[in-house]
């Protein structure tokens, strides 16, 4: 053992030195304990982290500019279509439509109805100056006069024959003349009745065109002074009962089993976006068009409110007899990524949730969801601006 080591031990053995060392060690132990206690009990400094929102939820601030570009729509249900949308066209119901041609050549004197006017059965449409009509009246009067004369001659012949002052041959000749005169008078009467309905007043050679049924004047090809003929290419008037229309559908050959009389057909129109209309299949074509491979199908559509117009183009779909009601969304609401599709559903005034959906059928306008999809009827979905929300949600992830 060295001399230095002996000196250090001797100095530590002194009472004053031992107390000093004890105080220092105690202070160090206390300082360490206080530090450990503070570290375990003190609050963390800086900003406290807020709990993060779920990855599929997005909350926009009140002044967010994206809110002005969003369009929301309440989800509705519809029958699941069994076919793709088919081209269709509204047309006049020919069973309740009249195309009126003049029965005789003549000239229009005055018009009593215009396009869009409602008319009753028998209402006057136009007055024509028709020389042939005057000739028909004259023929009837001449035939009736001749028939009356022949009838009187037959009566005299019968009296003379009973007095044995006339031969049977002359009597039979008088009977034949009377029958021929009666037939001619009946022919002239029938011809005139075809030109003028019974009960109408005849004024010279003026012919009154009348409506054969009640409806709306949908077309008129006449003006005062127009020369008209019965063999014209276009009718003078077209009158139709627009409370019922026909929907002519070009049915693809592969969907022929879906079209049966009495089945429901749904269709949409560009004039009324977002509104569904329905009709009932009335006739199905018996043959396939060899050029287009389409089957003509006709459906009857109620049009009591007059919103539907003939010649409007439509997109029609047929549903299977056992079709179910499913959720229908506009295609613009869908966001596709990979093999999945998503929509944004409003869950608060400025809160939106991204939900996954499964598509059962989709066309150019609508997507029909399966029953297990996370969107139900009555939910409010974003149909415009969903891409903005997706971008905002991706930045927060």
Q: Please state, in angstroms and rounded to a whole number, the distance separating the CA atoms of residues 210 and 94.
A: 19
Where in the chain are all domains bearing CATH 2.40.420.20?
A: 57-80+325-396
Res 331 pLDDT > 70: yes
Report, as an integer, the average pLDDT of 29-54: 48
pLDDT at residue 396, rounded to an integer: 63
pLDDT at residue 21, rounded to an integer: 46
Q: pLDDT by residue (tens digit) across 182-238?
A: 999 999 888 887 777 654 556 667 888 889 899 999 999 988 888 988 888 899 999
DSSP character for 376? -
Q: Which of 45-49, 83-87, 148-152, 214-218 has the lowest mean pLDDT?
A: 45-49
Residues in the chain: 397
Res 5 pLDDT > 80: no
Res 48 pLDDT > 50: no
pLDDT at residue 25, rounded to an integer: 45
Res 66 pLDDT > 70: yes
Handedness of CA 8, 10, 13, 19 (dihedral sign): negative
Class of domain 133-197: mainly alpha
Architecture of the domain whose range is 86-93+243-318: Beta Barrel (2.40)
Lay out the sheet containing 106-111: strands in order across: 206-210, 124-129, 106-111, 227-228
Q: Which of 50-64, 117-131, 321-335, 345-359 has the lowest mean pLDDT?
A: 50-64
- Percent residues over pLDDT 70 in the chain: 83
Report, as an integer, the average pLDDT of 270-281: 87
The three-state secondary structure class of 348 is coil
Res 19 pLDDT > 70: no
Where in the chain are all domains bearing CATH 1.10.287.470?
A: 133-197
DSSP 32-64: HHHHHHHHHHSPPPSPPPPPPPPTTEEE--TT-
**Fold observed for domain 102-130+205-240:** OB fold (Dihydrolipoamide Acetyltransferase, E2P) (2.40.50)
User: Distances from the Cα of 168 to the Cαs of 72, 158, 173, 217, 377, in angstroms?
Assistant: 100, 9, 9, 61, 96
**Average pLDDT score over the chain:** 81
Q: Please state, in angstroms and rounded to a whole number, the distance separating the CA atoms of residues 246 and 243.
A: 10
Where in the chain are all domains bearing CATH 2.40.50.100?
A: 102-130+205-240
Specify the DSSP element, H or E, that contains 195. Answer: helix 168-195
Contacts of 7 (CB under 8 A, 6+ apart): none
Class of domain 57-80+325-396: mainly beta
Name which of 180, 181, 103, 112 is nearest 135 in CA terms. Answer: 103
Say whether pTM exceeds 0.75: no
Find out whether 368 and 361 touch, Cβ atoms under 8 Å: yes
pLDDT at residue 397, rounded to an integer: 57
pLDDT at residue 318, rounded to an integer: 82
């Amino acid at each position: 053992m060295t001399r230095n080591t002996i000196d250090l031990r001797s100095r530590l053995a002194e009472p004053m030195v031992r107390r000093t060392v004890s105080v220092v060690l105690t202070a160090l132990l206390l300082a360490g304990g206080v530090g450990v206690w503070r570290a375990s009990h003190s609050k963390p400094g800086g900003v406290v982290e807020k709990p993060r929102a779920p990855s599929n939820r997005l909350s926009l601030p009140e002044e967010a500019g994206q809110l002005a570009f969003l369009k929301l729509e309440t989800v509705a249900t519809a029958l699941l279509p069994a076919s793709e949308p088919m081209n269709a066209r509204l047309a006049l119901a020919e069973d309740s439509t009249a195309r009126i041609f003049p029965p005789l050549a003549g000239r229009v004197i005055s018009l009593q109805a215009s396009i869009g006017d409602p008319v009753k059965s028998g209402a006057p449409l136009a007055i024509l100056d028709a020389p042939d009509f005057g000739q028909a009246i004259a023929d009837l009067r001449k035939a009736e006069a001749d028939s009356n004369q022949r009838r009187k001659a037959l009566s005299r012949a019968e009296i003379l024959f009973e007095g044995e002052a006339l031969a049977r041959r002359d009597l039979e000749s008088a009977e034949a003349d009377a029958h021929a005169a009666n037939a001619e008078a009946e022919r002239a009467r029938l011809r005139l009745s075809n030109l003028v309905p019974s009960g109408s007043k005849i004024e010279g050679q003026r012919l009154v065109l009348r409506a054969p049924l009640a409806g709306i004047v949908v077309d008129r090809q006449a003006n005062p002074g127009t020369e008209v003929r019965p063999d014209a290419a276009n009718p003078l008037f077209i009158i139709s009962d627009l409370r019922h229309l026909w929907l002519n559908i070009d049915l693809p050959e592969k969907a022929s089993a879906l079209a049966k009389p009495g089945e429901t057909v749904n269709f949409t129109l560009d004039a009324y976006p977002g509104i569904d209309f329905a009709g009932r299949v009335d006739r199905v074509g018996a043959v396939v068009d060899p050029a287009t491979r389409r089957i003509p199908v006709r459906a009857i559509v109620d049009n009591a409110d007059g919103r539907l117009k003939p010649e409007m183009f439509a997109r029609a779909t047929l549903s299977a007899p056992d079709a179910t009601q499913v959720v229908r969304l506009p295609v613009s609401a869908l966001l596709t990524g990979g093999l999945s599709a998503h929509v944004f559903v409003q869950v608060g005034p400025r809160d939106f949730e991204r939900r996954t959906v499964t598509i059962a059928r989709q066309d150019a306008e609508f997507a029909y969801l399966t029953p297990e999809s996370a969107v139900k009827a009555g939910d409010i979905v974003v149909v415009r601006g969903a891409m903005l929300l997706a971008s905002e949600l991706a930045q927060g992830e």
